[in-house]
Amino acid sequence: MKFLELNNRNNSLNLFRLIFASFVLIRHSFVVFGADINSYMPHCLDVVMSFAVPFFFYISGYLITASAIKNDFKTFLKKRLARIYPAYFVCILLIVILFAPLAFTIINNGSFDLISYLNLNPSPARFFIYALPLNLFENNIGTLLQAIHADNWNVSIWTLIFEFGCYIAVAIVMMVLMKSRIRKNHYPKMLFVIYLILGIAYTLMPDSSSKALIYFKLGLYLFSMFFAGGFVYLIKDKLVFSYKLLALAVIYCAVCMAFFSRNAAGIYIAIPMTYILLVLSVKIKSPKFIKENDLSYGTYIYAWPVQCLIAILITFNNINITVWEYLVCVWILTTVFAAFSWFIIEKPILKKVR
């Protein structure tokens, strides 16, 4: 048994975030293509991939808590905005000026009329304006997606408003704790209590048809997992590695994922799964390119519009391909956009705010 050596140089968290983004890409590809994923791969693998968003929030909670402790609130907020918003802004802009116009052109047999495109209902301008504040609503441009298995232009972005809310919440909590008379060794207890309260509130809150209450409950779910990751960060210096502990954590998580709903299990396994992911990030060597270049965010935000565009292309041109061929096409084109996002937008901006 020995302490985990957790630092930015020897862990592979970029690799795991890219894997989780790829899980989302794979599952969404089957949805947009209109294929049953369980007919093509083991159900247990689909279950693991369905936890991609919770896995994201565990790791994000861990990393963002570190940032909240190391930076004053103004610097923290500037860094978080720089990390999430510019790439998001360019993505929604490209949906309006590239993806949707291409879809319009394909649907109209290769003909594009700018006036007709701008007059679609909902209009491209409405989509863009509503999307600017990380909005969850109004994600359509006309009826361009009507012929495929999609009901808006970017399904994945629904988590971003919650993630940014988590950034603000953990920064405020850590700022209050550090300015209070509470001793540092009690900080983990405070985050653990917040995790418990949010998780219990989510579990006890009844389902509702009200959109506001649905999103409030979803917020409880995601915030709970985020604070669980933050709790693990605060106890990281006490974390030890042992195969017995790792095995127990894996068994516990597997049982919860198999017998509870995804959302309930996401809360129940938050702390042990964060431990598992940290152990794997230390034990599994990441390729140097992936360690130094984070393509996960670009993969996450571009996969869905790419999937929609390719689905429209094959639908309106009667192209006969398998779901695996579709998935490969999606993966290649998404990677191109993810690389563009990282090297042209994310990386240069992040260098400026360090």
* Phi–psi pair at 286, nearest 5 degrees: -90, 145
Give the per-residue pLDDT at 8.
52
What are φ and ψ of residue 3, in 5° steps? Answer: -70, 145
**pLDDT digits over 89-121, tens only?**
999 999 999 999 999 999 999 999 999 999 999
pLDDT on residue 54? 97
* pLDDT at site 210: 87
pLDDT surpasses 60 at 1:
no
What's the confidence (pLDDT) of residue 135?
80
The length of the chain is 354
**Contact present, 261 and 303 (Cβ < 8 Å):** no
**Higher per-residue confidence, 327 vs 156:** 327
pLDDT at position 98 is 98
Beta-carbon contacts of 353 under 8 Å, excluding residues fewer than 6 positions away, are 78, 79, 82
User: Residues 224-234: what's their mean pLDDT?
Assistant: 97
Gap between the Cα atoms of 117 and 96, Å rounded:
10
Give the global pTM: 0.94
DSSP string, 271-310: HHHHHHHHHHHHHSPPPHHHHH---HHHHHHHHHHHHHHH
Rg of the chain over Cα atoms, rounded to whole angstroms, equals: 21
At 139 the pLDDT is 86
Residue ranges in 9-51 assigned as alpha helix (H): 13-33, 43-49
Measured CA to CA, the distance from residue 200 to residue 224 in angstroms comes to 9
225 vs 231: CA distance, rounded Å = 10
Tens-place pLDDT, residues 140-153: 999 999 999 998 99
Q: What token pair was written down for 97? A: 């000026």
> Would you say residue 132 has pLDDT above 90?
yes
Amino acid at site 289? F
Q: Where are the beta strands (DSSP E) in the chain?
A: 2-3, 240-241
| Residue 10 predicted with pLDDT over 50 | no
CA 18 to chain centroid: 10
Please, is 334 exposed, middle or buried when counting C-beta atoms within 10 Å of its C-beta (0-12, 13-18, 19+)? buried
Compute the CA torsion angle 78, 217, 226, 200 (nearest 10 deg).
Answer: 140
For 17-38, the pLDDT digits (tens) are: 999 999 999 999 999 999 999 9
Q: What is the pLDDT of residue 255?
A: 97
Of the candidates 321, 316, 320, 319, which has an alpha carbon nearest to the alpha carbon of residue 147? 316
What is the chain's mean pLDDT, rounded?
93
The pLDDT tens digits for 63-90 are 999 999 999 999 999 999 999 999 999 9
Cα angle: 139, vertex 140, 144; to 5 degrees: 150
Could you tell me if 77 and 48 are in contact, meaning their C-beta atoms sit under 8 angstroms apart?
no
Q: pLDDT tens digits, residue range 287-299? A: 999 989 999 999 9
- pLDDT of amino acid 260: 94
Which segment of 54-58, 241-245, 248-252 scores lowest on mean pLDDT? 241-245
Residues in a beta bridge with 38: none
Summarize pLDDT for 153-165 with one digit per residue, the tens. 988 889 999 999 9
Tokens 């996002």 sit at which residue?
341
Average pLDDT over residues 11-16: 84
What the block records as the tokens of 14 is 């970029």
**pLDDT the model gives residue 4:** 66
Query: pLDDT digit string (tens) for 260-316?
Result: 999 999 999 999 999 999 999 988 888 999 989 999 999 999 999 999 999 999 999
